[in-house]
Amino acid sequence: MVQQAAKPQPISPLAGKPAPRSMLVDLARLEREYHERKPDLSDPTQLVSFGTSGHRGSSLRGSFTDAHIAAITQAICDYRRAHGIDGPLHMGKDTHALSEPAQRTALEVLAANDVVTFVERNSGVTPTPVISWAILAYNRGGRAHPADGIVITPSHSASAPTKASTSKPWPRSCKTKAPGRSWRPGAS
């Protein structure tokens, strides 16, 4: 069978040039909205909503705020407690504008719940595969208190620029080297 060659994608006229001012995001406003905006619970678009592997949203639309991250992290703590998950939690983040404030929010909730949490030194970034590897490496050999993790990273969708993803520990009998499974609070 002969395969058709993929159609070449047109090159953006913006390629290799600085972004026009009209395309730039106001980072101060993005972070201000994250801290100050309270979700409107009567608006379904501002509720916690899980996509492929995490909550997605934008502080500018009231769907990714301090309140969202605090509630999600508390739900993770409740899930861990209910399922006897008491090992360390590995937390990663990237360079997206809201990763740092969201990580701070999550760390405050984790600390209040006495969850031992590993983060990159000096507020460094940690990509998802590193967190998955850290969980698998820690859990290798069937530890009595397995680790899990949270990663704060931008979404791959332009309409939902930030997400918080979670990974739960592999069952002790699992011998795979694949990354940790995705889960959401309340799911088993």
* Per annotation, catalytic residue among 59, 99, 155, 167: 155
Residues 6+ apart with CB under 8 A from 124: none
Long-range contacts of the stretch 76-80 (C-beta < 8 A, 24+): 76/150, 76/166, 76/185, 77/109, 77/110, 77/113, 77/115, 78/185, 79/185, 79/186, 80/115, 80/148
Catalytic status, residue 155: yes
Catalytically annotated residues: 155
